[in-house]
């Protein structure tokens, strides 16, 4: 379905079987992804839970406006809040991958009463220092200009080769082609604005604020993703009610590289009421 917010159409897929009193699960994809990211888990997670799966602004079927302010992290959080208001939903479980994980974490901090459980896959709280943020903003701006100048195909060619996704080279060819086809459907303008507006260097840093989270938190990282394993280790030092699972034989995109393990871990975490 589409929900119009401030004149912009936001696409939200809704599926699953939410029973009385069952908390819905919101799924947030990563940069260059869309709601189809989570299609392999519809049956697993949707048997007894409503799944709410938006295309984050700049991605998928959600419109990609020109105004850069619409892509800022605070704006994206506000859109998600409005979507839940529109659907009449008070509280959710929230799962976010990479960029979607940063959005999920920000939402949980700004709207703590709306999140029961938080799952962060290969995600970070942002960058700790202004020097780091400034450097990252410069790099993201350069990449955004590359997308605008050279187009979506050249960008996806580049994106597939960055070190973060090296472990995905071991996936079956059909899986890699499916991911590439999905990435190519995105708006070049939407991706460029998303990089600048929602990039790690542009968002607020939540280091030092993690101990304010009141919900239960699960961190998931792939054993081969050393950068985000290090980030998760430092996050665990600040988080109160949290656990961390490292998935062997996986890199950054655990849900793609080890989907069965990923699906089971998430299901167990969501169904465990004793934690």
Give per-residue pLDDT as tens, 40-84: 999 999 988 999 999 999 999 999 999 999 999 999 999 999 999
Map residue 150 onto helix, strand or coil.
helix
Give per-residue pLDDT as tens, 171-223: 999 999 999 999 999 999 999 999 999 999 999 999 999 999 999 999 999 99
Mean pLDDT of 105-109: 98
Map residue 207 onto helix, strand or coil.
coil
| Start-to-end C-alpha separation, the chain | 34
Angle between helices 99-110 and 73-87 (to 10 degrees): 70
Whether pLDDT at 32 is above 90: yes
Give per-residue pLDDT as tens, 125-184: 999 999 999 999 999 999 999 999 999 999 999 999 999 999 999 999 999 999 999 999
pLDDT of residue 274: 41
pLDDT band for position 20 (cuts 50, 70, 90): low
**Cβ neighbours for 225, distance < 8 A, ≥ 6 positions apart:** 122, 164, 167, 250, 251, 252
Burial of 110 (0-12, 13-18, 19+ CB in 10 A): middle
**Cβ neighbours for 2, distance < 8 A, ≥ 6 positions apart:** 9, 10, 11, 12, 61
Whether pLDDT at 239 is above 50: yes
Map residue 4 onto helix, strand or coil.
strand
Mean pLDDT of 106-114: 97
Q: Can you say whether residue 120 is alpha, beta or left, with left for phi > 0 and alpha for psi between -120 and 50 degrees? A: beta
Whether pLDDT at 118 is above 80: yes
- Which stretches within 67-119 are classed as H helix? 73-87, 99-110
Mean pLDDT of 111-130: 97
Q: What is the pTM of this model?
A: 0.96
pLDDT of residue 273: 64
Q: For residue 246, how far is the Cα from the chain centroid?
A: 18
Q: Are 171 and 41 in contact (CB under 8 A)?
A: no
Mean pLDDT of 115-131: 97
């Amino acid at each position: 379905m589409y929900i119009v917010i401030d004149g912009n159409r936001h696409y939200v897929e809704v599926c699953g079987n939410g029973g009385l009193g069952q908390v819905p699960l919101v799924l947030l994809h990563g940069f260059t992804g869309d709601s189809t990211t989570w299609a392999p888990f519809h049956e697993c997670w949707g048997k007894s839970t409503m799944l709410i799966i938006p295309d984050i602004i700049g991605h998928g079927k959600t419109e990609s406006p020109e105004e850069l302010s619409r892509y800022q992290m605070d704006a994206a959080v506000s859109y998600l809040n409005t979507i839940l208001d529109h659907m009449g939903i008070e509280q959710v479980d929230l799962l976010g991958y990479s960029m979607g994980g940063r959005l999920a974490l920000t939402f949980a901090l700004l709207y703590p009463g709306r999140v029961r459980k938080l799952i962060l896959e290969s995600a970070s709280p942002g960058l700790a220092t202004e020097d780091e943020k400034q450097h990252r903003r410069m790099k993201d701006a350069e990449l955004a200009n590359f997308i605008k100048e050279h187009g979506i195909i050249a960008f996806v060619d580049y994106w597939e080769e960055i070190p973060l996704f090296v472990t995905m080279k071991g996936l079956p060819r059909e899986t890699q082609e499916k991911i590439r086809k999905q990435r190519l459907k995105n708006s070049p303008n939407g991706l460029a604005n998303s990089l600048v507006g929602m990039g790690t260097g542009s968002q607020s840093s939540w280091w030092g604020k993690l101990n304010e989270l009141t919900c239960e938190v699960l961190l998931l990282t792939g054993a081969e993703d050393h950068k985000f394993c290090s980030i998760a280790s430092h996050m665990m030092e600040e988080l109160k009610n949290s656990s961390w699972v490292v998935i062997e034989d996986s890199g950054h995109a655990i849900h793609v590289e080890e989907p069965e393990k990923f699906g089971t871990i998430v299901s167990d975490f969501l169904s465990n009421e004793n934690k």
